[in-house]
Structure 1
Amino acid sequence: MVDEHVPVLADRVASLLDPALSRDGAVFVDATLGLAGHTVLMLDRHPGLHVVGIDRDRAALALARERVEAAGFGDRFDAAHAVYDQIPAVLSDLGVPAIDGILFDLGVSSMQLDRADRGFAYAVDAPLDMRMDPSAGLTAADVLNTYAPGDLVRILREYGEEKFATRIVSQVVKQRAVRPWTTSAPLVELIRTAIPAAARRTGGHPAKRTFQALRIEVNDELGALRRAIPAAVEALAVDGRIVVMAYQSLEDRIVKQALTPLTRSTTPLDLPVDLPDHAPQLQWIVRGSEAPTDAEVAANPRAASARLRAAQRIREAV
């Protein structure tokens, strides 16, 4: 029996993607497959739809396949073990020339948060791993134990927007000289003591920003996102739609910066009409970034920080 999984903003995401996925033979890419909540929903809504699910986490892929097959949709689903910036290679391997819709549900997945041994959560003591693909790359412990102090400060400031990065890193470096970092509880306690008491009383858990920064560094999340959004747009057929849900400002900014130029004409201002090669490639179907409703947050608290952007391709790139 597969546990129930409630995808974030399920109804809103479906309403945005439905117009592009209703035809027989439409192809949808779930670029952050996770536990396949959005995928199962879209397969159920569109009997002629085929889904390509991408995830870097093999454990998540196995569970996703189980869910899709249990729902009776296995013959309309392909799973790919990849990072979402590898969309062109995944589609090429499957012989898919263009897609009709794509969804990015960014950040750490429900399964990764709920598995204490993965080290993403600061509420329990666990190995400092934080790799979305546990078979590859440096762990968070590797980062803490081997990076130069200046690089650690930069990571905490840029990826965690941590004001007390220097104080935290100073203590991290002092501690690693005595004993290498291995588990999360001592790090959480170090952060708590390094941050002034007044600052600890606001902004949520004091370790939140540092853990976010380490996770982003370990998984190259922002670099992958910068590469993935243009690749996703390039793969979209005309009238195809892209929907992105970000959970922190760094991600949302990258998405906005990648999509906004494609919604604007590059025709010289002194010409009366758009030149065909300079007309916008995309149009927004959500203005700005859309926040969840109070009802959505009440139904699924993990939606609270979500910010959604969506656009539609209106012409081919030349």
Structure 2
Amino acid sequence: MIETPLQQDQAMPTADVNRHQTAAAADNRGTAKWRPETITTLSVFAISLLLLLCSRFVSPALGSWDHLNTIMMLASFLIVVAFGQGIVILTGGLDLSAPALITLGGVLTTTWIGAAEGSSELLIPAVLLICAAIGGISGLGVVLLRIPPFIMTMATGIITASAALGYTSGTPRGAAPPLLVELMKGELVGLPLILLFVLLFAIAGSAVQSRTSFGRRLTAIGANPAAARVAGIPVGLSTVAAYMTSAGAAAFAGMMLVGYANGATLRMGDDYLLPSIAAVVVGGSSILGGSGSFVATIGGAILLTTLSTVIAALGIPQGWRTVIEGSIILIALLLLRENTFAWLKRRAR
């Protein structure tokens, strides 16, 4: 069939429209690959790398391979604690008992495992279960008694810290089990074991939070608990499991600290409460729950640890260190907000 000139003129705009729609769809597909979570994750790691490179101007010893190993060693504790904290924050809660459970995990490790030769494989899970049970108590208080997470976990933390004080009479005794010392200070094929552990933990933690039904349930609960309950999600049970996970992660971080320092103290967990929350939030997770990425949380932990080592190298007094760290965290939060990315995208156009 031969088209008339009029039909050809009418067909041309349609073809142009189709081409424009196809191009727009391709652009949208390209934009969809760069979700806000992906941009946040890349930004956090980029800022950490930039800070590490700039630290060379502070001291030649900074920014080296040894400095990087030190950062990863110190960040490993925060990464483990922040994983559990992020799981709770994903539900819209907050775990203030983490420092006390870090201490309890460390104390039980030295007094039980350190004094029992050859039984680390059995006692390590026992310590983790005890601490997870304490986290379960916090979860039950939040779910059944409707106590706000802030209050419930604070009370649990105070009771746990007091119990650790009474159990040790103020002086924790014992040494670190060889298994934990090897984890923190050993090497495999020329690489520190702790680096390999962080890599495996990052893969496992990211899978748990983003790829499993457990992680998806927690995300749904944080986004809308009522809708999650209507959808058949066991909101109460999942919430309790989240607090148990956080407590177990904190206890294992205490074990790692014991392996690193070859001993335990009653204040060993105090420095990890605010950084664990900050690492999760700097990583782009919503403090109100419903969204979060563990890979981005790892980036936040590395960023905070790098910042801490650089500030310490400058010899700044502790009070000013806190002010500087808090200011930089606030700036990072403002820069990493989704609205900021949207504004930059509009400016780029």
**TM beyond 0.5:** no
Report which of the two has the higher share of helix: 2
Give the alignment's TM-score, normalised by structure 1.
Answer: 0.28
Give the alignment's TM-score, normalised by structure 2.
Answer: 0.26
Larger relative contact order, structure 1 or 2 (CA cutoff 8 Å, min sep 6): 2
Report which of the two has the higher share of strand: 1
Q: Which of structures 1 and 2 has the bigger CA Rg?
A: 2
